[in-house]
Structure 1
C-alpha cells in the first residue's frame, strides 16, 4: 500500500515522495543521491485520493496539448512539472515512464482501473488506433464535465434540506439533553412534579442516554447485514423495486437512462462497436436492473436482432423511435446524444420536483418534533408560579 511521505533535506526544506514504507523512501532517495534528515508519513493513497475533478482538468489539458501538436510523453511531462498534488505526480510520472518504454497509453491506464474507468480506456484505445488521440481526449472531457455537472446538480438540490435537517437535529439534542433537564432540577428543588408531557419527554431523553450505544449499534449492525448479505443476494430485486417508488423511482430511472444513452453516444462517436458500447454502459450504470436489461439486449443483438427491436421490450417508446430512426438514417450517435440530453433535462426537472415535494414533508415532521419539545419546555414555565407558591 503506497502513501505520501514528507522528507526534509539538510536545509530542512520539506519534500514529498510516494513510497510503500520509510525504508522504501530511503532507498529511493539513495538512488537519487539525496539525504533525508527526517521522514514523516502522510496520507495513504486510495481511490478517493484521485478526485474526478482533477481527472477532468488533466484530461482537458491533455486534449489541448495534443491538439497543439505535442506528443503524449511531452504532454505528460509538462503536466507533471505543474502538478501540485503528489499522488497525481506519482501517477503521471509512472504513466510517462511506461509509455517511454514502448507501452501503449490505453494499456497503461488499464493498470489504474480505480482511477481511469473502463470507458475512459476504451475511448483512448480507439484514439490510438485511429490516430486521433486529441479527439478522444476532447470526447472524454465532455463526458467528465457532464458527469460532474450532474453530481453538482444533485448536491445543490439536496443542500438546503440536509442543512435544515442538521440544524434541527442540533436543536433537538440541545433541548432534550440540556434545557429540559434544567427544568427537572428546578422542579425537584421545589419537590414538585413536572407536567406529564414534559416528564414523558425527559424520560425518553434519559432512555436514549442510557441505551445510546445500543441505539447506535442496532441500526449499524442492521445496515452491515443488509449490505453484506441481503443486498448482495437480492440486489436485482431491490433495484427493480426502487424504480416503483413514487417520484424517487422516476428520478432513478431518468438518471440511469441518461447514463446509458450518454455512454452509448460517446462510444458511437468514438467509433467503438455497439456491443462494446453496450457493455461499457452496463458497467457505468449503478442499477442492477438496467444492467441485467442491457445484458439481455446484448444477447438479443448477438442473435441477429436489431438494436431498436431489443429496446422495444424494455425501454420507453421514445427511445425505440429515435434509435430506429438513427439506424435507418445512419445517425445513431446523434439520436443517442439527443436521448442523453432529453433524459438529463428530465432528471433535473424530476430532481427539483422531488426536493420541492420533500421539503414540506420534512418541515412538517420537524415542526411536530420541535413544536412538541417547545411545548414540553414551556409547560413548566406556565406552572412555575403555582410551584413557587
Structure 2
C-alpha cells in the first residue's frame, strides 16, 4: 500500500496559512460541528465575519460544500491553500466518525507548537541583543582601541603577540567580513519570522529551523505518536481495515518516517507476513507502540490499548515541554549571551595582559 501522492506538498502556495490562522479556522469548524450547524451555512457566515484570507477561504469552502462537496473534498480541491497534513486529518476524522475529536487533537498539537515557537523566539531576544551590542563594541575596539594598543607596543618596544597579530589581521581585512555577522543575523530573523506558517505542523520549509533546536523534535514526536495512536484507535472503532487505518493515521501526523513505516507495516499486514523481532525494529517507533501494533490483533483490544498509549505519549510530551520551557532560556542565555561576553572580554584583555607580561620580564 502506498501513501497518497505528496506532489501537492511541493506547491509553494501550500503555506499561505499562518499557523495561528489555521488554528482559528480549525476551532471555528469544531464549534460549528459541536453546535450542529450545517458547515456550509456556518462557513458562509464565517466568511463574512473573518478578515482577509481566512474570510475568503471560508467562503470558498462554503461555496464548494453548497454544490455538494464534503468538507474533505472541498479542502482537497483547495489543496494549494491547506497543508496536506490538515487535509488528511479532516479525512481521517470524517472516516472515524469523530471529526471534532480529530480536529481538537490537531488544534492542541498546533497550539503547543505555536506557543513553543513563540517562547523560543522570546528566549533568543536577550542573547541576540547581547550579541549585537558586543559585536558593535568589537567594531569600536578594532577602529579605536587597537591602534592605541599598537602604539603602546611600539613605545615600549615590545614584540607583537599572537592575539595582537590576529586582531591586526582582522582589522586589515574588515572590509571582507565586517558585514557578514549582521547579514547572517538579519537573514536568521527573516527566516525565523517565516517559521510561523502552517508548515510548522510537520517542520517543512523554513519551519525546519524550529525543528533543528535540540529537544523540539522529541516533544513533537511524542505529540505525533499520541495523535497517531488516538486517530488510529478511532478508525479501528469504526471497523476501518487495519492497513488503511495505519496509513491514514500516519499521514495525519505529517511525519515522513512515520508514514514510510506505516506503509511498510500495512504491506506486511496485507501479505499476512508475520512480524519478528528484527522486522519490528525496522519501523523505528517507540517499543510500546511497535508491540501494540504487531501483537494486538483483536480490534476492540487494540483500539483500547492505542487510546491508553495516546494518553501516555501526550503526558510525556507535556512533561518534556515543561522542562524545555525552563531549560531553554537558561541554555540560550548561557551559551549565546555568556559566550559572547566571554569572547569580547578575551579580545579586550588578552593584548593588555600580554603587554603587562612583557613589561614584567627583565
Cα distance in 1 for residues equivalent to 2:153 and 2:344: 28
CA distance 1:267–1:171, shift in 2 (3 Å): same
CA distance 1:126–1:150, shift in 2 (3 Å): closer
Q: How far off its partner does 1:77 sit? A: 1.3
Residue of structure 1 aligned with 2:231, choices 249, 266, 271: 266
Cα distance in 2 for residues equivalent to 1:377 and 1:48: 51
CA contact under 8 A between 2:26 and 2:103: conserved in structure 1?
A: yes
3-state SS of 1:259 partner: helix
CA distance 1:375–1:335, shift in 2 (3 Å): same
Q: How far off its partner does 1:141 sit? A: 2.7
CA distance 1:304–1:366, shift in 2 (3 Å): same
CA distance 1:120–1:60, shift in 2 (3 Å): same
Residue of structure 1 aligned with 2:169, choices 196, 203, 206: 203
Cα distance in 2 for residues equivalent to 1:344 and 1:312: 23
CA distance 1:326–1:120, shift in 2 (3 Å): farther
1:23-77 Cα distance to aligned partner (Å, 9 max, x none): xxxxxxxxxxxxxxxxxxxxxx944441122222222222222332321121011
Q: Which residue of 2 aligns with 1:256?
A: 221
Cα distance in 1 for residues equivalent to 2:142 and 2:253: 49
Q: How far off its partner does 1:182 sit? A: 1.4
Greater relative contact order (Cα < 8 A, sep 6+)? 2
Residue pairs, 1:1-389, within 5 angstroms: 46-84=13-51, 86-125=52-91, 135-153=98-116, 155-157=118-120, 159-160=122-123, 162-184=124-146, 192=154, 196=161, 197-198=163-164, 200-211=166-177, 248=214, 252-253=217-218, 255-270=220-235, 271=238, 273-280=241-248, 282-283=250-251, 289-305=257-273, 311=280, 314-321=284-291, 327-328=297-298, 329-330=301-302, 331-345=304-318, 347-348=320-321, 351=324, 355=328, 360-362=334-336, 365-375=339-349
Cα distance in 1 for residues equivalent to 2:276 and 2:311: 15
Cα distance in 2 for residues equivalent to 1:339 and 1:111: 36
Aligned residues between the structures: 306
The answer for unaligned runs of 5 or more in structure 2 is 1-11, 188-211, 358-362
1:205-252 Cα distance to aligned partner (Å, 9 max, x none): 4424334578989xx9xxxxxxxxxxxxxxxxxxxxxxxx9x94x764
Q: Which residue of 1 aligns with 2:3?
A: none
Cα distance in 1 for residues equivalent to 2:25 and 2:262: 31
User: Which structure is higher in strand share?
Assistant: 1
Q: How far off its partner does 1:375 sit? A: 1.5
CA distance 1:68–1:187, shift in 2 (3 Å): closer
1:123-168 Cα distance to aligned partner (Å, 9 max, x none): 54466568x5xx41343033222232134235425642x2343123
Q: How far off its partner does 1:110 sit? A: 0.7
- TM-score, normalized by length of structure 2? 0.65
Cα RMSD over matched residues?
4.4
Cα distance in 1 for residues equivalent to 2:312 and 2:275: 15
Cα distance in 1 for residues equivalent to 2:16 and 2:154: 59
Cα distance in 2 for residues equivalent to 1:261 and 1:275: 19
The answer for unaligned runs of 5 or more in structure 1 is 1-44, 221-244, 384-389
- TM-score, normalized by length of structure 1? 0.62
CA contact under 8 A between 1:323 and 1:336: conserved in structure 2?
A: no
